[in-house]
Amino acid sequence: MVEGSIGELSPFHETFGYYAQAVGPTTAVLPAGWEGRLVAVRTTAGTGLCLDTHDLAVSKYVAGRDKDREYLHAAIRHGLLTRRLLLERIAVTSIDAVLRQRLQRTIDADFTSGG
């Protein structure tokens, strides 16, 4: 239902310039404890549960697609993320040590450059 009514390329997306994606618990790599940080977004149509901005950012750093990098740079520029919280969340994410170190360096570089 989400994809069909407010998903990518839907009339909603075309009208408002953004869209929603329905995801499950295995869709993204997320830090431990993410479930406890879900943010309830209430509308007249119902309530949606959204990821905390830092948990979402970790999943985007792990995915590393161009669109994810663009999102991360914009989120940093607009003050939606802090380096400290990102590094804390990366530390409790189930990824191998090599990837963890690479992501820590990338986060440091992103904050040094201002996004």
SS (H, E, C) 59-85: HHHHHCCHHHHHHHHHHHHCCCCCHHH
58 in a domain, yes or no?
yes
70 in a domain, yes or no?
yes
Number of domains in the chain: 1
Give the separation between CA 45 and CA 96, rounded to whole angstroms.
41
In the predicted structure, residue 98 carries a pLDDT above the cut 80: yes
6 in a domain, yes or no?
no
- Residue 26: the pLDDT is 81
8 in a domain, yes or no?
no
For residue 57, the enclosing domain spans: 25-113
pLDDT, average across residues 69-82: 97
The more confident residue out of 10 and 75 is 75
Give the separation between CA 61 and CA 44, rounded to whole angstroms.
33
pLDDT, average across residues 69-86: 97
Percent of the chain past pLDDT 70, that is, above it, reads 100
In the predicted structure, residue 7 carries a pLDDT above the cut 90: no
37 in a domain, yes or no?
yes
Identify whether the C-beta of residue 79 lies closer than 8 Å to the C-beta of residue 34. Answer: no
* 108's tokens: 């440091």
pLDDT, average across residues 32-55: 92
pLDDT, average across residues 87-102: 98
2 in a domain, yes or no?
no
- Residue 15: the pLDDT is 92
Closest by Cα among 5, 35, 37 to 20? 5
75 in a domain, yes or no?
yes
For residue 77, name the pLDDT band (cuts at 50, 70, 90). very high
pLDDT, average across residues 21-27: 78
39 in a domain, yes or no?
yes
- Residue 63: the pLDDT is 95
